[in-house]
């Protein structure tokens, strides 16, 4: 079981790295998807090894996928808005207010 958890935490760490370092907004959204996938690996692993009596973990993972899809849809709509306003989607150009 531990190997799966380790894989998930490596994937999560790569996702964090991407969110922190990507300049392109779509790149950030892709890194976020990696993080959600890492969480799902965790959930499915725990479902198999800790709580095999029911499928709560897999149900949770299904909901996470659905919510991630909803977030991606809104995120990409905002990316289109950004492109219309700035003609570019690099986050450090989009910085009228200081962070």
Partner 1 sequence: MTDQNWSILIPEIFLFIWALFIFGLDLGIKRKNPKILGYSAMAGLTITGILLAIFNGGILFKGMFQSDQLAIFFKVIFIGSAFMAVGSSFDIASEKIRHHRGEYYGLILFSTVGMMFLSSASELITLYIGMELTTIPLYVLAAFYKDDKLSVEAGLKYLIVGAFSSAILLYGLSLLYGLTGTTDIVTMKINLSLVFLSYGKIGPGLILAMIMVIAGIGFKLALVPFHMWAPDVYQGAPTPITAFLSVGSKAAGVVAFARIFVNGLIAFASDVMKPLDWGIIVAILAAAAMILGNITALRQRNIKRMLAYSSIAQIGYVMVGMVAASELGIASVGYYMFIYLFANMGAFTIATIFNDKTGSDGIISYSGLSKTSPIFAAYMSIFLLSLAGIPPLGGFAAKYLVFAAGIQAGYTWLVIVALLTSVVSLYYYANIIKTMYFSAEEPTIKIHPSFPANLVLLISVIGIILFGIFPGPILDWALESAKIFAF
Partner 2 sequence: MEVEVSQLVFYLLSFVIIISAIYVVTLRNIFHSALFLILTLFAVAGIYIMLNAEFLAAVQVLIYVGAISILIIFAIMLTSQLANKQIRQSNEQVMIGIFICSGFLLASLGSIANTVWRIVEKPLPENNTLTMGKLLMNEFVLPFEIVSIVLLAALIGAVVLARKEGA
Give the residues lining the site for partner 1 (CB under 8 A). Answer: 5, 12, 15, 19, 25, 28-29, 32, 35-36, 38-39, 42-43, 45-46, 50-51, 53, 56-57, 59-60, 63-64, 67, 70-71, 74-75, 77-79, 81-82, 85-86, 91, 94-99
Phi, psi of 41, deg, nearest 5: -60, -45
Q: Which residues pair with 24 in a beta bridge?
A: 90
For residue 96, the minimal CB distance to partner 1 (Å) is 6
Binders in 55-94 for partner 2, by CB under 8 A = 55, 58-59, 61-63, 65-74, 76-81, 83-84, 89-92
The CA-CA-CA angle for residues 39, 6, 42, to 5°, reads: 25
Measure the CA–CA gap between 18 and 22, rounded to whole angstroms.
Answer: 5
């Amino acid at each position: 079981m531990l190997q799966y958890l380790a894989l998930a935490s490596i994937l999560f760490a790569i996702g964090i790295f991407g969110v922190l370092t990507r300049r392109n907004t779509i790149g950030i959204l892709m890194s976020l998807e990696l993080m959600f996938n890492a969480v799902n690996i965790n959930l499915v692993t725990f479902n198999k090894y800790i709580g095999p009596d029911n499928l709560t973990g897999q149900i949770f993972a299904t909901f996470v996928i659905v919510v991630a899809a909803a977030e991606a849809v809104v995120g990409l709509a905002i990316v289109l808005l950004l492109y219309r306003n700035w003609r570019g989607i690099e986050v450090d150009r989009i910085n009228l207010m200081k962070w």
